[in-house]
Structure 1
Amino acid sequence: MSKNILIISTSLRFNSNSDLLAQSFEKGALEAGHLVERVTLRDKTIQFCKGCLSCVKTQKCVIHDDVNEIVDKMKEANVLVFSTPIYYYEMCGQMKTLLDRANPLFNADYKFRDIYFIASAAENGDHVWAKAVNGLEGWIDCFEKSHLSGVVFAGGVTDPGEIQGHQSLKRAFEMGKNIRQERRYSMKTMDKKVFDEQNVFGLGQPNDAFAQYFIGNSYLNGLTNPKECGLALANVTFEPGCRNNWHIHHATSGGGQILICTAGVGWYQEEGKDPVELKPGVVVVIPPEVKHWHGAKKDSWFSHIAFEAPGENTSNEWCEPVDDEAYLAL
């Protein structure tokens, strides 16, 4: 699926090296089939933030200039790319002003997740761009659904267009082309809205029938009708800190349970063994007659598909709750 990518080139210089890096990123993203818009601040009117905080309530800035249109574009983009020259080991002033003025997005239903940083400077070395990235990460930290996904830096370029032939142009192109592969998101999340986007098999209804065997709230979403197919598959969702009691799946032959982890992160533990981290893609085959428990981590929602393996004389024995002290120490 293509992504809506907004590239914001903050340099005011014509044929600037950071803008040429941004153009290279754009070419790679277009080749990969994404929708790309590149905006330059060169011809834009951008005033300083007044610090009035009216935007916190209204999600609109009281200043009427070109920033408002850019912020609206930022809100709808899946990917944001900022390119800047490095001045005094920091981002340029107009980029910082734009970030300040983007405060209406703080309480908004923004779509951006991946954020990329592109920069150029006359000096070489990681120390040249590190403080600028730290500044951008400070802004990103205020938007918990987003994250820094990549950095491209071109050092040793001063005059306009001097970057031509620089190896960083290829890196920017490849980064734009491979956004899907480079996309990183935290599987661990306390934000239910973020988790719901990942929980593709659905939350379902409160798991009231088994609530007495759980600490915290769990939810059950049936995926199959066992009367029709003979197999009951359900997506089980645990709120942060929720886990089921120790329990045992009994069977005289066959039996046991299989868990297919689908969203968030959690724990699985067999009696006498260390806990195992659960994350999307992990499959746990639980043998019969093994005492165990499973659930969410204390700081994340978690879901898995669960189904009973066919067997003879199958039953489920619920045991004591998982010890709070031991669980919180994980």
Structure 2
Amino acid sequence: MTSPRPLRLSVLDLVPVRTDQTSADAVAASRELARVADAAGYHRYWVAEHHNMPAVAATNPPVLIALLAAATERIRVGSGGVMLPNHAPLVVAEQFALLEAAFPGRIDLGLGRAPGTDPVTSWALRHGAGGVGEDAVARFPQYVDEIIAMMDTAGVGLEVAGRTHPLRATPVASGRAPVWLLGSSDYSARLAAARGLPYVFAHHFSGQGTAEALALYRDQFQPSELCAEPRTFLTVNVAVAPTAQEAERLALPQLLAMLTLRTGGPLGAQLLVEEAEDVAVPTEHERLLAAMRERWIIGDPGTAAHRVRELAAGFDVDEVMVHPVAGAYAGTDPAAAPARAETLRLLAEAAGGLDW
């Protein structure tokens, strides 16, 4: 009998902010969570970029990556992702060139095309950042090419007034952080395939069209010096606890937060478990909540690990990035996220016992 191929586990962190936390608490909790992932053998730890959201402190991936890489020893740390239309390409290239210099071989640069925020905040971010509004989104392929070129050891030549001026993200680069394209539609799948870049579909957020996007990416992939063959993995929301019943309780705050986001309700800090249990879900929203719940992995360690393995086999990937969505009970240390840490520990232990 053929043994199943090895499966890597990684982590996606939005740096959630609970009703009992300050931003400082949320960052401290994520720093400790990264240490847990590092010790448990997870392969990479990515942080997202979202702006002006009461429940998310992941506003600046490069700053968070520096904090988390400094707090860990071997795990890869990266962005999942930098929302490129919000930033000047040279600034992103400089940030990640410095991160790669400080933590060589441990940095990933994931690039996204979505704004990651509301229109007003998006305008504030993009004003003066190389493009405003739809122009910045339309120039996404150009920006990707520019970042890759500027992070190269040779840099690029910039034509100004008939003269070529050398432009490098850092003076003497000895390496370049791998660039990944991220997306929740087929746009980035097509671009990644055409450019010969690694690609990740946001299965944890969308849950729809994953198989189609991955098939398109693999079918259209053109090998490049950066990536010889298609390279991808899967993201999924996960809550693991000693019992399935406890895992369901711990997942409820994030489920309600996503329901609010999808139905246009007022956003707030993430509820504690007891606060979430007091919320009455409108009848017209129950079906949507159940549909989201079905796409998440919530359960005891053995069940969760088995479902992760099935998911990886179903989408033909050898890496799964888990977004630990377990909430917290009243009275939890505000600077800690013990249920999220337990999700990572229990899943890693169960995965090790399943002959992966």
Q: What TM-score does the superposition give when structure 2 sets the normalisation length?
A: 0.26
Larger fraction in helix: 2
> Looking at CA atoms only, which structure, 1 or 2, has the larger radius of gyration?
1
Structure scoring higher RCO (CA < 8 A, sep ≥ 6) equals 2
Larger fraction in strand: 1
Q: What TM-score does the superposition give when structure 1 sets the normalisation length?
A: 0.28
